Structure 1
Amino acid sequence: MTHGVHSTLYAELWQHPDKFLRYLRMTINSFDELLLRIGDKIRRQDTHLRRSISPEERLIVTLKFLASGESFSSLHLQFHLGISTISGIVRTTCVALWECLLEDYLPEPSAQGWLDIADKFQDVTQFPNCVGAIDGKHIRIQKPAHTGLEFYNYKKFFSTILMAIADAQCPFIVVDIGTYGRTNDSRVFKTSAIGRRIYAGEMGLPGPRAFPGTYGPPMPFVFIRDDSFQMCANLLKPYSSRGLDHRQRIFTVCPVPEDTWSAHLEF
């Protein structure tokens, strides 16, 4: 291709890091690192009929799609590639990104890793023995073909659900992606790999320990979330919003004193 964005604009963007960042939402150094890591996975062989699309262009097309949310039709006009070709490029490149980056950026925490996360929660929020905050997010999508209303959610748009556990500084620790948008958060959590493992006690959490600075009894490490989920030994939720006394209200809206949390764990 000699007239698309890659051939006409990319060289200019490379000379202007600020423009490159605005266009792909990524620095040149980060782009080069990604290309180095996934280049072989997305490389295709040339044929005697035509040259294959380079790994560089495949990555640019995918990053532009992810950064801007533009349609394949719009990208088709920019890159002079077929719509079905762009669809295939985005899918295969996203799979390559996931496979290459998963172990580095979403590794399953070890027992020491959970302890480090809990220590950070204690430092940032003064919430003891907390190893993650759980919530779900509806990601807006176009209705997949032949799915009826499976992806149509209560907010009146089509979506797929991202369920995630985040640490005290907001990066994800664990994610579960792809549940139908019509499913409510509580059911999503119970049926997701995350929920099943938490309720079964299979998250690899360290054993109970006393709260920092106390000589009290050992307390379990917990994940926190809103009141829509069923509580268990390693899942803590706030009191419901009705009929709260002073201590319960404090527990629900802000970091809690150890004695308040201890009382709430006696379920």
Structure 2
Amino acid sequence: MTVPFHMSRRSITRHIYQTCQVLWDVLQPLELKPPTKDQWFKIARRFGDLWDFPFAVGAIDGKHIALNAPPKSGSMYYCYKGFPSIVLMAVSDADSCFILVVCGQYGRLSDAGVYRTSQISKLLEEGKLNIPTSEFKVNSTERTIPFMIVGDETFPLKTYLLKPYAAKTLDQEKRIYIYRHSRARRLVECAFGILAKKA
């Protein structure tokens, strides 16, 4: 069933875009503002209590959201899965709740490509997200680890972004690390699953 808007499709598209932008500008600072330093510490504590990864302050990943490709857009929106999409990049906490969200990049881009050009990457690089600069002290050792976000192997390795080992032959200690890393990282995938169920 079509609803007559008494406007051209182009005008409707422009109005929808402007309305969504205003909704984001008004609601984002209220509902999805970046955590404070104390909140980051609480998130890290939850990662430690629930998932044995006490220096993690978030899990990052991207999700392709299917859409109808705009006319004359070529292959810009087509992802590697073969359908047109835009990418939702998000960071979640230990309870699979979104902390940071960026949406709207072309589906043809990989997670690493979206991350590199995203506001999340820019804020992390500039240290503007209030992530604690102090380090997590490992119990009964002299070892300290900086607080960081966990991602999969497509993300770059940074002082604030951790990815799993790439080697296929790993010793027992590294296997245990990869297991714990995977458990912590899957929380963002759970958050995407919860979002998909609500949509």
TM-score tier, shorter chain, comes to 0.7 to 0.9
Equivalent residue runs for 1:103-182 within 5 Å: 103-182=29-108
Size of the aligned set, in residue pairs, is: 180
Q: CA deviation at 1:162?
A: 0.7
User: Do the aligned partners of 2:164 and 2:181 also contact (CA within 8 Å) in 1?
Assistant: no
Of the candidates 186, 189, 196, which is equivalent to residue 112 of structure 2?
Answer: 186
RMSD of Structure 2 on Structure 1 (CA): 2.5
Of the candidates 134, 143, 165, which is equivalent to residue 208 of structure 1?
Answer: 134
The match for 1:242 is: 168
Of the candidates 233, 246, 260, which is equivalent to residue 159 of structure 2?
Answer: 233
Q: Relative to total residues, which structure has the larger helix share, 1 or 2? A: 1
Give me the whole-angstrom Cα distance separating, in 1, the residues matched to 2:2 and 2:97: 30
The match for 1:58 is: none
User: Do the aligned partners of 2:153 and 2:164 also contact (CA within 8 Å) in 1?
Assistant: yes
Q: CA deviation at 1:98?
A: 2.0
The match for 1:94 is: 20
Q: CA deviation at 1:206?
A: 1.3
Give me the whole-angstrom Cα distance separating, in 2, the residues matched to 1:88 and 1:238: 42
1:186-229 Cα shifts (integer Å, max 9, x gaps): 12111212123324444321122333644534421100011112
Does residue 219 (structure 1) correspond to residue 141 (structure 2)? The answer is no
Of residues 155-164 and 246-255 in structure 1, the stretch that sits farther from structure 2 once superposed is 246-255
Q: Give SS of 1:133's match.
A: strand
Specify every segment of 5 or more residues in structure 1 that has no aligned partner in the other structure, as ranges: 1-73, 257-267
Give the direction of change, closer, same or farther, for the CA distance of 1:170–1:249 in structure 2 (3 Å limit).
same
Amino acid at match of 2:71: A
- TM-score w.r.t. the length of structure 1 is 0.60
User: Do the aligned partners of 1:161 and 1:179 also contact (CA within 8 Å) in 2?
Assistant: yes
Amino acid at match of 1:101: L
Of the candidates 150, 168, 179, which is equivalent to residue 253 of structure 1?
Answer: 179
Q: Give SS of 2:135's match.
A: coil
Q: Which structure has the higher relative contact order (CA within 8 Å, separation 6+)?
A: 2
Q: Give SS of 1:210's match.
A: strand
User: Do the aligned partners of 1:126 and 1:255 also contact (CA within 8 Å) in 2?
Assistant: no
Q: CA deviation at 1:122?
A: 1.6
Q: Relative to total residues, which structure has the larger strand share, 1 or 2? A: 2
- TM-score w.r.t. the length of structure 2 is 0.78
1:237-260 Cα shifts (integer Å, max 9, x gaps): 11126122222111112269xxxx
Q: CA deviation at 1:81?
A: 4.6
* Structure with the greater alpha carbon radius of gyration: 1
* Identical-pair percentage: 35
